[in-house]
Amino acid sequence: MSSLFSITKMFSLSTLMLLLQLFTINLRHADAQIGVCYGTMGDNLPPASEVVSLYVSNSITRMRIYYTNQDALNALRNSNIELILGVANPDLQALASSSDNAIQWVQNNVLNYFPYVKIKYVAVGNEVNPVGANSQYAQYVLPAIQNIYQAIRAQGLQDQIKVTTAIDMSMLGNSYPPSQGSFRADVRSYIDPIIGYLVYANAPLLANVYPYFSYANNPTDISLSYALFTSATVVVWDGPYGYKNLFDAMLDALHAAIDNTGIGYVEVVVSESGWPSDGGFGATYDNANTYLGNLILRAKTGTPRRPSKPTEIYIFAMFDENQKSPEIEKHFGLFFPNKQKKYTFGFTA
């Protein structure tokens, strides 16, 4: 009887230890999905070396930068922070027009740092839209992507460093219900070939997803609880899929839009999402604290349409940036320029 009791005790203890190990692994996997965008449009921001130290001390394991910021790249060496490295829109034409330019760009900004800087994605252009205010860049996005991809592939790094671009949600012509998500007809000739490339290269599409702006522009039809992840019940039923929050509905509308092109399967990385603490309708400290804290918890799960994997999310932004406009754009920071935390939550799930 005593030996049976001992075996039962040992089995229970070993099972408990195994479950604890699995929980820890899963928790780390969830934690690793959160990154923060490092913008620099402020005249009072700390130097890059201090910024990287701030990421490390707050357990922020991923960063997005919007241009080839050499100070940031040097500070990131051996930090173990994974990076989205941006190609600024004004640089697209030169990279699209010459493969030699792309080779040199990759040498200067990727090979000179990798693997000591853990470059995960190269984001070729940000929110370029063929029918938007920056339409002059649209013709250069895919050729620049292809030239940079070929330069990276020539080094055998195409499976380690994925080349892509970042879009905003204005590319969608329909987003409700999410399963009927589709791209605007007047952007299909732009986005379809990019999706085709992403399928070929097995690279994700980056998307900037902001429930805040959807709510602020339509508070009559969109409840604050739906936007802040605080609804206790399903708000939108779409066939078998139930949506308690606007973030999932927006993201699944993009998933559906990609699927509905019929080109192939492409994953989506949320390359920006945030909520301002001041400067506009619904932009309060409490709302921002609620949204961002819940967004971090949300990263450990998938969407109703794609539930099997956690969602890789980059929060915008690290700091309040006083040189941005309009006013609301100055208040998205997680930290004040003096490096003090604005909010109470941590950066792990």
Average pLDDT, the chain: 92
What confidence score (pLDDT) does residue 212 get? Answer: 98
pLDDT value at residue 2? 40
Instruction: Band the pLDDT of 349: cuts 50, 70, 90.
Output: low
pLDDT digits (tens, 9 = 90+) for 97-147: 999 999 999 999 999 999 999 999 999 999 999 999 999 999 999 999 999
Burial (CB count within 10 angstroms: exposed 0-12, middle 13-18, buried 19+), residue 291: buried
| DSSP-assigned letter for residue 182 | E
Tell whether omega for the bond before 326 is within 30 degrees of 0, i.e. cis: yes
Cα(333)–Cα(27) distance, rounded to whole angstroms?
25
> Which residues lie below 8 Å from residue 138, measured CB to CB, with a gap of 6+?
128, 129, 130, 190
288: tokens are 């921002």
Nearest residue to 123 (alpha-carbon basis) of 165, 174, 75? 165
Burial (CB count within 10 angstroms: exposed 0-12, middle 13-18, buried 19+), residue 13:
exposed
Distance CA 57, CA 212 (A): 28
Q: What's residue 25's pLDDT?
A: 38
Identify whether 267 is a catalytic site residue. no
Query: Using alpha carbons only, how large is the chain's radius of gyration in Å?
Result: 21
Kindly indicate the confidence band of residue 23, based on its pLDDT and cuts at 50, 70 and 90: very low
Average pLDDT of the residues in 191-206: 98
Q: What is the pTM of this model?
A: 0.90
Burial of 10 (0-12, 13-18, 19+ CB in 10 A): exposed
Residue 120 has φ and ψ, to the nearest 5°, of -105, -40
Residue 52 · residue 79 · CB < 8 Å: yes
pLDDT confidence band for 28 (50 / 70 / 90):
very low
Contact yes or no for 61/88 (Cβ under 8 A):
no
To the nearest whole percent, how much of the chain has pLDDT over 70?
91
Beta bridge partners of 86: 123
Rounded Cα distance, 75 and 117, in Å: 9
Main-chain dihedrals φ then ψ at residue 325, nearest 5 degrees:
-145, 155
> Which of the residues 50, 82, 127, 329 is marked catalytic?
127
Distance CA 38, CA 200 (A): 30
Phi-psi region of 65 (alpha: psi -120 to 50; beta: other; left: phi over 0): beta
Asked whether the predicted pLDDT for residue 286 surpasses 80, the reply is yes
Residue 272 annotated to the active site: yes
Residue 3 has pLDDT above 90, yes or no: no
Judging by beta carbons within 10 Å of its beta carbon (0-12, 13-18, 19+), is residue 331 exposed, middle or buried? Answer: buried
Does residue 317 have a cis bond before it (omega within 30 degrees)?
Answer: yes
Catalytically annotated residue among 50, 82, 267, 272: 272
Q: How many other CB atoms are there within 10 angstroms of residue 233's CB atom?
A: 7
pLDDT value at residue 347:
85
Position 304 scores a pLDDT of 97
